[in-house]
Structure 1
């Protein structure tokens, strides 16, 4: 009996889960090491502030916003929360450096660079201004390069994610990168919709997770009711990448729910390729024609509710979205699932 009393007591599931999240939470300045994925037209002031107020880390999707518009969105978000949040900037934006300055002037604590390798001047400006830099790394070589370039944290996003995707699944990327990259916190993303998965990646060495699809049906999200209903109805098998018909005309893969727009995109590609082969279009004009097909399509779906012709970008975790809930309830549910899974493992021992 004395031996049992003298034995070190294991921390409870909640404390053990917090310990696994400690590095990521400390980096973000939050209670939970959960980032909201930056989704254009979706990740704006209302959802971002709701996530941050609930103990997670909201991220504004700058997308194509101009500097004045971004400054307005940041200020509006700051009026709704005094908790930390970040801003996602697309590296190919023509006014990237100006957008970085907007973030610095507003004292945004974290800038997330996405959509390509961020230019060194942008990273340097952000860091010199006192902001933490987060970058996406879809491969080991790039992860190492970004760390050398000054990234303070990385996000590795698998092909299960919604929107623009890379070719490798998170299950493989996590095995490849998590055991090796230890100098900076590494967050994982793509296909995560339950707490059990969050726990598993934390135990593999992830500092935290990023979820996007799971938060689209947050009550605070301003997405059109039709857009949310499409998510609630959708299954994992419905969220597929766009298909490329001709190797000479590459299509950047985008994972979205299949609809009439998806079918028309295939028909459009075939018609454009035929016009090119008939000599009616140059190769450059044909490529631009294909790329412009989806122009404004995400806004049509998210804002206008045209989920048949717009782009309903969604990750494969869409099948785990079953109802509209407040952001705080979703986060509490995720943490409860992770805690329960950890408790079951402890009981098994």
Structure 2
């Protein structure tokens, strides 16, 4: 057994796959093709449910199962109005792992997932939350730094890893995410006690990714400093910042926030509805870029590791390269 697989053993046993590399759930990108390819290549694919209805999720899981015999997970957004129906769909398909993202799980949701027999994975953006999740019976954690693409927290991955891993890694498997583009960095987080990593940006332009070629070309052209976090313009509207490549869509989002903040002022929407409007805005903007290829007005969500994504290649090659770099770093 190699050094790397020894360090990953806890993660691979937890996920039920060969390499403890989870794929970040990227809306519109992490669907049946990419998810099955990652699981088939020994990693752990995760379907991004995002704003899907229960019917859509039902079809997506069934289609993914038709493309892989290997385990994969489903990422659910905690503020989805039909969260409990989505959990029931995962139960119907006996999904092995459910990842909860986007805020604290609503009352009863952890118990509902546990009742299906699935393992629950939550995002912990701070040590206090990590401890709280462990007390409430969560099976594993993802700590994701602000270098990541899509929705992000305020703290860098390297700081989170130093703060959280020494405190909790002996109690529960922890996966580190955000800004990881190479295997040697993965190896150093494993050495610090992580059970594995989660990577998204590095897989977004894989051959098997259905992202539009314009979207992929935007990735190949970009460097780290092009992936910027969205600006929050109203303190009463606590919008989770999103990291994406700078374009016209980034500016349009600022205008969208103003519009929703005004509705909030006039009492025309409540906070939950305001946040859902923002979520739906992102889902639409992301679809324009990923599916339609409108990279001017759409949202090209990308992490700061985007500068390391320079060409389209099969998932299996990406994973093999990461593993090779990881082994080299440990030898």
1:317 and 2:305 are equivalent in the alignment: yes
Distance change (3 Å), C-alpha of 1:245 and 1:92: closer
How far does residue 124 in structure 1 lie from its aligned partner after superposition? 1.1
Distance in structure 2 (CA, Å) of the matches to 1:107 and 1:293? 31
Conserved? CA contact 2:51–2:283, under 8 Å: no
1: CA distance, partners of 2:268 / 2:38: 42
Alpha-carbon distance between aligned partners in 2 of 1:63 and 1:242, rounded to the nearest angstrom: 19
Q: Which residue of 1 aligns with 2:174?
A: 186
Post-superposition offset of 1:95: 1.1
| Alpha-carbon distance change, 285 to 104 in structure 1, aligned in 2, over 3 angstroms | closer
Q: Mark the CA change 1:222 to 1:15 in structure 2 (over 3 Å): closer, same or farther.
A: same
Shift of 1:268: 5.9
Q: 2:81 aligns with which of 94, 99, 120?
A: 94
Which consecutive residues of structure 1, in runs of 5 or more, have no partner in the other structure? 1-13, 344-349
Residue 223 to residue 283, structure 1, CA distance change in 2 (3 Å): same
Q: How well do the aligned residues superpose, as a CA RMSD in angstroms?
A: 2.2
Q: CA deviation at 1:57?
A: 0.2
3-state SS, counterpart of residue 108 of structure 2: helix
State the shift of 1:328 in Å: 0.3
Deviation of 1:128 after TM superposition, in Å, equals 2.0
> 2:28 is matched with which residue: 35, 41, 50?
41
Query: What SS class does the counterpart of residue 179 from structure 1 fall into?
Result: helix
Residues 1:142 and 2:129 are matched in the alignment:
yes
Structure 2 equivalent of residue 162 of structure 1: 149
Cα distance between partner residues in 2 of 1:191 and 1:91: 24
Which residue of 2 is the match for residue 172 of structure 1? Answer: 159
Contact 1:272 / 1:286 at 8 angstroms: preserved in 2?
no
Q: Is 1:158–1:190's contact at 8 Å kept on the other side of the alignment? A: yes
Larger radius of gyration: 1
Q: 1-side partners of 2:90 and 2:270: how far apart?
A: 37
Is the 1:120–1:149 Cα contact (8 Å) retained in structure 2? no
* CA distance in structure 1 between the partners assigned to 2:111 and 2:28 by the alignment: 28
Instruction: Give per-residue Cα distances to partners, 1:263-304, cap 9 Å, x unaligned.
Output: 34445667888xx5xx9x727669959947646101101100
Following the alignment from structure 1 to structure 2, what is the Cα–Cα distance between the partners of residues 155 and 304?
Answer: 31
* 1:176–1:125 distance in 2 versus 1, CA, 3 Å: same
Counterpart-to-counterpart distance in 2, 1:61 and 1:161: 16
Q: What is the CA–CA distance in structure 2 between the aligned matches of 1:64 and 1:267, rounded to whole Å?
A: 22
What corresponds to 1:332 in structure 2?
320
- Secondary structure class of the residue paired with 1:223: coil
Closer, same or farther: CA 265–93 of 1 in aligned 2, 3 Å: closer
Give the drift of 1:69: 1.2
Q: CA offset at residue 118 of structure 1?
A: 1.3
How far apart are the structure 2 equivalents of 1:309 and 1:27? Answer: 40
**Are the structure 2 counterparts of residues 90 and 34 from structure 1 closer, same or farther at C-alpha, using a change threshold of 3 Å?**
same
Q: Are positions 1:83 and 2:67 aligned together?
A: no
- Tell me by how many angstroms 1:224 deviates: 0.6
Contact 2:79 2:103 in 1 (8 A): yes
Return closer, same or farther for 1:101/1:339 CA change in 2, 3 Å cut-off.
same
Bigger drift between 241-250 and 146-155 goes to: 241-250
Q: TM-score, normalised by structure 2?
A: 0.93
Deviations 1:42-73 (A, max 9, x none): 00000000000000000000111111211111
How far off its partner does 1:120 sit? 4.3
Q: Is the 8 A contact 2:27 2:283 kept in 1?
A: no
Equivalenced residue count is 326
**Corresponding residue of 2:250:** 262
CA distance in structure 1 between the aligned counterparts of 2:317 and 2:77, rounded to whole angstroms: 30
